[in-house]
A and B are shown apart, each in its own frame.
Chain A
Amino acid sequence: MGRYVIRRLLQMIPVFFGTTLLIFLMVNVMGDPIAGLCGERQCDPATAAQLRKEFGLDKPVWQQYVTYMGNVFTGDFGTAFNGQKVTELMATAFPITIRLTVIAIVFEVVIGISLGVVTGLRRGRPVDTTVLILTLVVISVPTFVTGLLLQLLLGVKWGIIDPSVSSEAPFNELLVPGLVLASVSLAYVTRLTRTSIAENARADYVRTAVAKGLPRRRVVIRHLLRNSLIPVVTFIGTDVGALMGGAIVTERIFNIHGVGYQLYQGILRQNSQTVVGFVTILVLVFLAANLIVDLLYAVLDPRIRYA
């Protein structure tokens, strides 16, 4: 197990450098960021040259990348165009997005898996059909429609919630945005669990467990669910990364100043330091989440061993 983890960690190094290099190049292809700083007019050439020098944009791209990575390892993620340290932006944005992600994951796990188990055990019954149709609806409606609709109904028409989240973004204000963010994945989790449960329900070990006279609850939770969770855990694991970086739409609708918003603004302003910095952290999150998922397999299914 220990050796496996070390090997996986070593594998992360080339992946990390590869992805950051790609992002760095992509941001660079977008063109000269300085030109966008002066509104509709042209920046005066002297100031533009000075700014380019300050942000290191006058050097060749490979040199910019090397300098940037060097700085990253000393904890310096550079400065955004508005004079704020990128680390400062991260310190405000990540806690908010982590809260949002935690809420979304909790919704996925609690609602998604329970619905999956219910429908998986009652295939073909009305409950199953209803949930299947509902998940299909949720999957096919884009997030921004769900978000705007909930915002309009709950926030404006019925006044149950504030339509926008305050800048501190406490847990209770993030519940509805979290539900919106989770909705599509939640539907997938339901469907994945349902299929997996339905398939395993006919497995030999389940029949054995039933034959042993175990209580139904124990059969379902200890034997059936645990073995059926592998595809679901894989999905949720990768979803952690996707939720953190892909919350742009939800964050804009509900005025959440998280990672998605910072990335969006960074891209609009072609602020390479912000974009590369945030994406670098997201890459690390993805890698860590994947490793944890792989390790969880062994916990869920004793037949899987890592050496």
Chain B
Amino acid sequence: MRGATQAKWAACAVAVALMATACGGGGGGGGGGANGIVSSSWGDPQNPLEPANTNEVQGGKVLDMVFRGLKKYDPKTGAATNMLAEKIESTDSQNFTITLKDGWTFSNGEKVTAHSFVDAWNYGALLKNNQKNAYFFGYIDGYDKVHPNTGNASAATLSGLKVVDPKTFTVKLSQKFSLWPDTLGYPAFAPLPKAFFTDHAAWVSKPVGNGPYTIENYTKGSSMSLRKWDGYPGDDKAQNGGIDLKVYTDSNTAYTDLVAGNLDLVDDVPASQLKNVKADLGDRYINTPAGIIQTIAFPFYDKKWDTPGGIKVRQGLSMAINRDQITSQIFQKTRTPASDWTSPVLGEEGGFKKGLCGAPCEYNAADAKKLVQEGGGIPGGQLKISYNADTGSHKEWVDAVCNSINKALGNNKACVGAPVGTFADFRSQVSQQKLTGPWRAGWQMDYPLIQNFLQPTYYTNASSNDGKWSNKQFDSLIDKANAESDKAKAVSTFQDAERVLAEQMPVIPLWYQNGSAGYSDRITNVALNQFSVPVYEQIKVK
């Protein structure tokens, strides 16, 4: 029975293999309580970890732990409260004087001064530094000199920034913008230590900031260990010993690791696992609104779509989409049907108004059909909704939206999805106005202000107005709201502008996106902020 012995050997090899891997089991952080370490899932940041160059959530997580700016957004209410700023004053909504609090330092001991801010902002705005968030400084006077649309910069620093003394600096904006101080909680406005400018390469490989955590170890592409900074002067000190971020190749793997007990926190529960979340995690699952709205945008640069009857067609299409059904069946309620163009994270005071859109955003198949017919039908006879097929399970919902439209219009070929291979290709087609039909669009807020949901996306020729929609009434209302020094009045004027959107329906609001996270039974007090980033410093380890 020689053959059988060989088979036995083979079986043994497998058994040995499995046993050997068993040695790798276990793991987890050392210690509990205030010194406990939390392990959390991570993705490789797309850009170098510079504050003005980080525009996605993975890099944003790190900046959130390592930096504190002039203001900070309350993770629950979204209100911007002073952090490093003692006060920010203005008499004309255009010239601001910023005074810093005493006692703040970077974790390397260097004092945070007015220069730390002014130098950082000048760096972020200057064209040759390739900072992707440079547009954040666009409201500051002199931005067109350091960051012209074409050609080279004619100045190295923003003329609107002036250091008065180590604790004070002034900012002159190029236009009136009463809510501008509330934008300063975004990490792009973080102060930077001298080391950032003198030894840039070393700083980027291990950033040094002024936040509650310091970076102990950073292996690019695989992991980062952050530890509590004991000398942190702020009142939002870390409640745990540190955070270990671990890069996962796939969010499903991270979720599996969480269920197996090898990971404490997953802040991106994959759509395919949403059905199992209750059974796997029980109440250790959070699903809270994030400042993201998903929409369908139209190409107004294309004559076919920019017609007087188009309004009715767009409103009809909007009414043909059964948002309730799609959000509950496809997204398992991790999206909320949209009834305005902002986000619930703003709160009523901040300008969110449920139902502002009115009837055009509610499902009504009969009226939908009528309106589309009155408006002259779908241009080109068929609605082709473009989306990128590589991320975010867009195919499922685009197909569902089309299904809903087809049913309402009683035409099986009224709407189809038009996939584009990669996100980069999709974005390049959108931004170069190559699409001749509608596309899936979305807006993630930069700061929790109603202004940020309206101006960059719908103002004439605004940076993210990809469909090139233009409306004089809307523009003038936005200008008026920005000049308004009273916050409540400014917000209600912005809402008036939003009502223009309801009449014109330049984009169809679909749903507000939620942030979701799951965590292990080792940790408590887990929450996500409005940017879907976990509030790491508040996490407690049992």
Interfacial residues, chain A to chain B (CB-CB below 8 A): 30-47, 49-51, 54, 81-84, 88-89, 92, 110-111, 114-115, 117-118, 121-122, 127, 151-152, 154-156, 159-164, 166-167, 170, 172-173, 175-176, 179, 216-217, 251-257, 261, 264-265, 267-270
Contact = CB atoms under 8 A, between A and B. Distances in A.
A173 B262 CA distance: 14
B6 interface: yes
B14 interface: yes
Contacts of B253: 151, 163-164, 252-255
B435 to A, nearest CB: 13
Given A47-B130, A117-B3, A175-B18, 4 more contacts: A36-B424, A88-B220, A118-B7, A122-B3
B260 interface: yes
Given A81-B47, A127-B3, A175-B18, A156 B256 contact: yes
Interface residues on B, range: 35 or more
Contact of B46 (A35, A47, A81, A89): A81
For the complex of A and B, list the 5 residue pairs with the smallest distance between their C-beta atoms, beginning with the closest: A36-B424, A35-B428, A167-B222, A32-B428, A31-B425
B7 A41 contact: no
A160 B21 contact: yes
A84 B221 contact: yes
A194 to B, nearest CB: 12
Contacts of A32: 424-425, 428, 432
Contacts of A50: 127-128, 130
User: Which of B48, B132, B221 neighbours the largest number of chain A CB atoms within 10 Å of its CB?
Assistant: B221
B256 A163 contact: yes
A40 B425 contact: no
A167 B249 contact: no
Interface in B232-291: 246-250, 252-254, 256-257, 259-260, 262
Main secondary structure of the interface of B (DSSP, over half): mixed
Interface stretch (B77-85, B163-171, B304-312, B437-445): B437-445
A1 B432 CA distance: 57
Contacts, number: 217
User: Which of A44, A114, A121, A122 neighbours the largest number of chain B CB atoms within 10 Å of its CB?
Assistant: A44
B333 interface: no
B132 A269 contact: no
Given A32-B428, A253-B253, A42 B260 contact: no
A173 B248 contact: no
Given A110-B10, A172-B24, A268-B391, A251 B249 contact: yes
Contact of B14 (A42, A46, A54, A179): A179
B21 A161 contact: yes
Nearest to B20: A172
Contact of B425 (A30, A164, A255): A30
A176 B17 contact: yes
Contact of A163 (B149, B262, B424): B262
B348 interface: no
A255 B248 contact: yes
Contacts of A252: 249-250, 253
A162 B260 contact: yes
Contacts of B426: 36
Interface string B316-356: 00000000000000000000000000000000000000000
